[in-house]
């Protein structure tokens, strides 16, 4: 399971560009860190990280939580994603992300995710998502998952 999670961050160009890393994996639950970078600033005056970076981070972690919930690795695709922003991230600080796959059907996985600095008591953003669970297939020669 861990190898596939690492592949997901390395094989997806946008995830690779963001540079986030998975720090912990448990059944149906994934944690990660999105490093702060001035390149990701949405406002040059404040240095606050752009909301799209947080959205991408939580979307990727949520997909990985789906993978961590499945008995056998299968690629998933985002069907629906809702982000609620509670406050801006602090300039210069990494963001911790956490995602949980709380329900699986035969074809759909449902997740909740959180972005924060210290704890979920003071979140930056939350996410709720639904993912299509793709059929098992052999990897292509291009190395996709």
Domains and CATH numbers, the chain: 2-133 (3.10.129.10)
Tens of pLDDT, residues 72-128: 888 899 999 999 999 999 999 999 999 999 999 999 999 999 999 999 999 999 999
Q: 62 with 99: CB under 8 angstroms?
A: yes
Rounded-to-integer distance, Cα 38 and Cα 41, Å? 5
pTM value is: 0.88
Pairing of the two strands 21-26 and 95-104:
unpaired
Tens of pLDDT, residues 22-71: 999 999 999 999 999 999 988 888 888 999 999 999 999 999 999 999 99
Residue carrying structure tokens 């059944």: 27
Rounded-to-integer distance, Cα 80 and Cα 78, Å? 6
């Amino acid at each position: 399971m861990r190898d596939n999670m690492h592949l997901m961050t390395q094989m997806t160009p946008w995830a690779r560009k963001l540079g986030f890393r998975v720090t912990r994996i448990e059944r149906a639950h994934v944690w990660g860190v999105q490093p702060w970078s001035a390149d990701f600033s949405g406002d040059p005056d404040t240095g606050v990280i752009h909301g799209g970076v947080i959205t991408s981070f939580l979307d990727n972690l949520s997909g990985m939580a789906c993978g961590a919930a499945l008995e056998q690795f299968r690629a998933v695709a985002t069907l629906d994603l809702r982000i609620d922003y509670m406050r801006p991230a602090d300039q210069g600080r990494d963001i911790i992300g956490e995602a949980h796959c709380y329900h699986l059907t035969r074809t759909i996985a449902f997740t909740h995710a959180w972005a924060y600095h210290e704890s979920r008591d003071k979140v930056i953003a939350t996410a709720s998502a639904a993912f299509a669970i793709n059929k098992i297939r052999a990897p292509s020669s291009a190395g996709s998952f």
